[in-house]
């Protein structure tokens, strides 16, 4: 094993880059803007320039580098091919081949951003020490990553681990971002919590601090829940029941050792984790109830960690 690895987490506005020792220590991290002009055709040049600059600055040669892992917000198929990244303007980009050519032949591995975040949490975060992991990221939407035997389940079409689009409610009338109706993401994301809150607050309910808010946020709901607000508890109960049920569907197939919850909504911390675990255990298949629950610990750095883990496999 060589001494260093780079992790590059490409987002729609910035690329986060990390220089790591392959033992797991993050030595340096920084960001560069993502240039999405000309169908994103400058992105890999910009990344290569940033990596070379850092190598020169730290006197690191190509021979010292185990590889470069890169996470992208889109579907990744076998052999390092990115089919579509809407946010980057990419269509059919052979990322591994192109970036490797720009980096003097250093090995490059590409993965979907939600999947590499799960891999990062497995390597150095909330799921450290485990090899069978389900990670769910609760942000604006619901992202997912499944690790089996230490490896990402990418699937035949790059859609492995799309936990957010499991159909929870076939009677839903609102449309999900994916064009279908009743997806988990419509209830268990930050926007989903707000939707559930509006529904509960529109019904008859006990006086709540949430009544005074003009625009209720997911954070307001969880803060009120922690303060013992009974209406907030009802909203969180609905949120947790749906997420717990969704996860019980996933674990029937995957049977993981641990379920890791990350993303902005997970900042609500242990009370959220406890509510979801309780709801999950009510619905889970008998032996799958033993799955552990943990909060993600790497925050926005999970992606760069996971990218490096990609090149250590």
- From 108-116, 121-129, 165-173, 239-247, give the range in contact with Zn ion by CB under 5 A: 165-173
Provide the minimum distance between the beta carbon of 268 and Zn ion in the complex, in angstroms, as a whole number. 23
Provide the minimum distance between the beta carbon of 87 and Zn ion in the complex, in angstroms, as a whole number. 17
Of 51, 106, 135, 183, the residue at the interface with Zn ion (CB under 5 A) is 183
The candidate with the shortest Cα–Cα distance to 273, out of 301, 305, 247, is: 247
Provide the minimum distance between the beta carbon of 73 and Zn ion in the complex, in angstroms, as a whole number. 16
Of 82, 112, 135, 165, the residue at the interface with Zn ion (CB under 5 A) is 165
Which SS3 state, helix, strand or coil, does residue 16 take?
A: strand
Q: Helices 230-254 and 270-283 meet at what angle, rounded to 10?
A: 60
Provide the CA 242 distance to its chain's centre, in angstroms.
19
- From 96-104, 129-137, 162-170, 243-251, give the range in contact with Zn ion by CB under 5 A: 162-170
Comparison of 109 and 165: residue with beta carbon closer to Zn ion: 165
Comparison of 113 and 121: residue with beta carbon closer to Zn ion: 113
Q: Where are the alpha helices (DSSP H) in 140-203?
A: 185-188, 190-202
CB 210 within 8 A of CB 201: yes
The candidate with the shortest Cα–Cα distance to 300, out of 139, 151, 164, is: 139
Both structure tokens of 193: 């919590």
Please give the angle made by the CA atoms of 113, 149 and 24, to the nearest 5 degrees: 60
Of 86, 178, 207, 252, the residue at the interface with Zn ion (CB under 5 A) is 178
How many beta carbons lie within 10 A of that of residue 304, not counting itself? 29
Comparison of 69 and 144: residue with beta carbon closer to Zn ion: 144
- From 15-23, 169-177, 220-228, 255-263, give the range in contact with Zn ion by CB under 5 A: 169-177
Of 48, 168, 176, 296, the residue at the interface with Zn ion (CB under 5 A) is 176
Binding site for Zn ion (CB under 5 A): 165, 176, 178, 180, 183
């Amino acid at each position: 094993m060589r001494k260093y690895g780079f992790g590059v987490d490409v987002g729609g506005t910035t690329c986060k880059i990390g220089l790591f020792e392959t033992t797991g220590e993050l030595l340096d991290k920084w960001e560069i803007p993502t240039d999405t002009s000309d169908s994103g055709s400058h992105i890999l040049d910009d990344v290569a320039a940033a990596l070379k600059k850092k190598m020169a600055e730290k006197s690191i040669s190509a021979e010292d580098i185990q590889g470069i892992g890169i996470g992208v917000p889109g579907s990744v198929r076998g052999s390092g091919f990115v089919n579509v990244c809407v946010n980057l303007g990419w269509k059919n980009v052979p990322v591994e081949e192109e970036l490797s050519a720009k980096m003097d032949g250093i090995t490059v591995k590409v993965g979907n951003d939600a999947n590499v975040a799960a891999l990062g949490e497995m390597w150095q975060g909330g799921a450290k020490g485990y090899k069978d992991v389900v990670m769910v990221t609760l942000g604006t939407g619901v992202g997912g990553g499944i690790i089996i035997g230490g490896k990402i389940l990418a699937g035949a079409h790059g859609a492995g681990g799309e936990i957010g689009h499991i159909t929870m409610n076939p009677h839903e009338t609102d449309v999900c971002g994916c064009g279908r109706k009743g997806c988990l993401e419509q209830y268990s994301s930050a926007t989903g919590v707000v939707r559930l809150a509006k529904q509960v607050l529109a019904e008859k309910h006990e006086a709540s601090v949430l009544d005074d808010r003009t625009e209720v946020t997911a954070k307001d709901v969880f803060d009120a829940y922690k303060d013992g607000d009974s209406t907030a508890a009802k909203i969180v109960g609905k949120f947790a029941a749906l997420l717990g049920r969704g996860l019980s569907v996933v674990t029937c197939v995957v049977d993981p050792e641990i379920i890791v919850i990350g993303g902005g909504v997970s900042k609500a911390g242990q009370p959220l984790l406890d509510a979801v675990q309780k709801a999950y255990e009510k619905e889970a298949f008998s032996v799958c109830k033993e799955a552990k629950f943990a909060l993600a610990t790497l925050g926005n750095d999970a992606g760069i960690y996971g990218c490096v883990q990609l090149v250590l496999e």
